[in-house]
Amino acid sequence: MLAALTAYRLLDPGSEWRLHRQWYEQSALADLLGTGDGLTEIHVRYRCLDRLLPHKRARFAHLTTRWRDLFKARYEVLLYDLTSTYFESAPPEDPRDKRRFGYSRDKRRDCVQVVIALIITPEGFPLAYAVLAGNTTDNRTLRLFLRQIERRYGKADRIWLMDRGIPTEATLAQLRASAPPVRSLVGTPKGRLAQVEAALLGQPWQQVRAGIDVKLLPHAGEVYVLARSHNRVAKERAMRRKPLKRLWQRLRQLQGMQLTRDQLLLKLGAARQRWPAAWRRVQVIPQPDGTLGFALNREKLRQVRQREGRYLLRTNVTDRKPTELWELYMRLVQVEEAFKTLKGDLALRPIHHQLLPRIEAHIFVAFLAYALHATLRRRLRDLAPGLTSRTVLEKLQAIQMVDVHLPTTDGREVILSRYTQPEPDVRVLLTQLRLQLPAQPAPRLNAPATLVR
């Protein structure tokens, strides 16, 4: 049943009801798994989900061993990040339920949610995850995961990559003071750039690749890395100009309207709420005659322009070159890609279950499907570069399996299960992936009930 649930989540995700009513009977899983119609009963799925969670840690250990054997995967660099997934349902009455209102990364603050913390390798192999309460803040999760990874894999000389907002100053100090020190490379909020900007001005730029420059600033056993991307300058400048232009047009419209003081304040409040970032770069100046006056805050605008395309990193890894530090941090996109795959290709939402253990089991099945997805992607990198896991699965869907029913003269029926011959491009793909289709199944003889009696 677990194999069926995981294959369903990987190939054509949907609800358990759809798997029970439609998908399983129309797929070849019954033949491939050798189970016949034994898995069509809906309660079998729920009993499977109810038994999954105790095996989660053993599954994590098995996967890490398999990836080490198959791809020589290494676990010296780990990526850590969090996401949330929401439920379109009423808030639970049980105070111990993890579905809670909190900061929604899906922009659904009106829905309860759970938070999913994920640890993966730079190659995208997921090592572990946890389902946390929906109101859990980012900086309260890191210490728990550090202890879990140390207990599971030992205190190795590994580097943790994290985005800004996850580690607090107290957590970073604890990491540096541990024995041995836990090495980390983390993003830093732009507000901290103001504290070290004066010291960074005297440091020279070093080019790490075309269009990317960095500055290094050693400070109190750490190294601050200021990165500048020329392509990102153009992107952030366009993102800044668009809302500022719209806010400016709106203020001009309000300037020409005949409004009372209260009406003007309401409309200004609405404009501030719609374009908050642009509002901080504009000064609203009351005029003696009661009309609206406004001007650009040139000092803030100049400061923003100077910081466009720049981001600040901090690390206690002092034995790496600037190029290596920057390339390490860029690997954080693997976590974002993992979350995108879970919510997109694997359709983690909507979650229809109401019982918390089954909700966590549903997420566990999605995790296993993502493990298969990541394994196929890694194999494609060696055997068929340029193809994605989703592209390969869609191509292989062209191979169909049919049952041919042949009646006999004595009232019985011969059933031939046959898969269609793959198209030329699919044959090339199978050859490239070093896969061979199994032999055609043996014929089956079906006798009517009257003959059996």
Query: What pLDDT is stored for residue 305 in this prediction?
Result: 86
pLDDT at 143 over 80: no
Are 199 and 192 in contact by the 8 Å Cβ rule? The answer is no
CA atoms within 13 A on the CB side of 90: 3
Query: What pLDDT is stored for residue 448 in this prediction?
Result: 64
Nearest to 114 by CA among 334, 370, 361, 345: 361
Query: pLDDT: is 412 or 189 the higher one?
Result: 412
Query: What pLDDT is stored for residue 451 in this prediction?
Result: 46
Whole-number percent of the chain with pLDDT over 70: 96
Are 13 and 346 in contact by the 8 Å Cβ rule? The answer is yes
What is the number of other CB atoms lying within 10 angstroms of the CB of residue 127? Answer: 24
Q: Average pLDDT, whole number, for the chain? A: 86
Quote the tokens at residue 374.
């990541």
Nearest to 442 by CA among 404, 416, 421, 403: 416
pLDDT at 126 over 50: yes
Q: What is the pLDDT of residues 191-217, one digit of tens each?
A: 777 788 788 888 888 888 888 888 888
> What's the rounded mean pLDDT across residues 315-339?
85
Query: What pLDDT is stored for residue 274 in this prediction?
Result: 93
> What's the rounded mean pLDDT across residues 341-366?
91
The domains of the chain are located at 2-51, 232-307, 401-452
Q: What is the value of pTM for the model shown?
A: 0.83
Strands 159-162 and 126-133: unpaired
Per-residue pLDDT band for 153 (boundaries 50, 70, 90) equals low
> What's the rounded mean pLDDT across residues 384-407?
91
Query: pLDDT: is 366 or 25 the higher one?
Result: 366
CA dist., res. 216 & res. 228, Å (int): 12
The helix (H) or strand (E) run that includes residue 307 is helix 298-307
Query: What pLDDT is stored for residue 453 in this prediction?
Result: 42
Query: What pLDDT is stored for residue 156 in this prediction?
Result: 67
Query: What pLDDT is stored for residue 93 in this prediction?
Result: 87
pLDDT at 279 over 90: yes
Q: What is the pLDDT of residues 396-412, one digit of tens each?
A: 989 998 889 899 888 88
> What's the rounded mean pLDDT across residues 163-167?
79
pLDDT at 386 over 80: yes
Crossing angle of the two packed helices 42-50 and 2-11, in degrees rounded to 10: 100
Query: pLDDT: is 246 or 17 the higher one?
Result: 246
pLDDT at 376 over 90: yes
